[in-house]
Amino acid sequence: MNPAYLIPRIIRHFMPETLAEWMKKKKIIIKAGMETLEPLAAAQRYLKYFQQSEITIDSKTILIFGYGGNFTTACELLNAGAQKIILCEREDFPALHISNEALVQYPQYFIREQDTDQPDPSRLLCYHQDIRALAKRSDVEKADLIISSSVFEHLDDVEGITTALFKLTKPTGLHLHFVDLRDHYFKYPFEMLTFSSSTWKNWLNPTSNLNRYRIPQYRAAFEKHFHSVAITILESEPHAFAVKKDKIRTEFLSGDDVLDCATIIAIKATSQ
């Protein structure tokens, strides 16, 4: 047993999500994702990947799955040539808020209506709705590109949500998802893989949810819908993995240590 891990994990499990969200906002102990904390860095990571992969976003419609409430990433992608950005968050996400910083830096993407600043719907569309419900709507435009950063590891229905995102993709569309495979108590990146499903679910899983999917499970989820699925390992922690390997449960081990010690990956998927 590792009390230094277990005690904070149990506290986080039983902590009300409203308190966790407040702590994220105030940057107290709990950190929000890159889209929220470092939206400019998130935009730059996407653009760097697109450039390296020779993917053009000119005149494209891009759906950002889990935009984190910050418009900077979307506006930077518009500045880089995208035609329209669709922003999606969960149904219970806090109400739409446009910061003064966004209004000053990107005034061309916002309009004033009834004394309220709103995203210009010709360039920015925003939905706070379960993506599975959104995918059933006939009035939602399909995207050329669907992207996310540190979202997939938090999903409680990877297969169902991947299906929904596939339905929101044009036939020639492309997906790019950056996924953080670490235990988000980052000091112990593989600790969560040592517990049974019941122990993790009932005592340790944070309210933000970590689904504990590994590379083979993500590959299988995407290959159900996409013709081509490429998973690139961006970061690994082989030493931390080696130290913990004997205690990791067999369902989380593929037999390939290179795959199993991966901590951050990029999933690229295309329909053709």
What residue ranges do the domains of the chain occupy? 3-90+119-270
**Average pLDDT per consecutive 10 residues, the chain (272 residues; last block may be shorter):** 91 84 67 69 94 96 94 96 97 88 96 92 97 97 97 97 98 97 95 98 95 98 96 98 98 98 98 79
End-to-end CA distance of the chain: 48
Alpha carbons 103 and 85: distance in angstroms, whole number:
16
- Residue type at 178? F
Give the pLDDT of residue 97: 87
Token pair listed for 262:
């991966």
Report pLDDT for 189. 97
Find the angle CA(255)-CA(261)-CA(263) to the nearest 5 degrees.
Answer: 140
pTM of the predicted protein model = 0.93
Which CATH number among 3.90.1150.10, 3.10.105.10, 3.40.50.150, 1.10.10.10 corresponds to the domain 3-90+119-270? Answer: 3.40.50.150
* Residue 117, both tokens: 């600043």
State CA 253 to chain mean position distance.
23
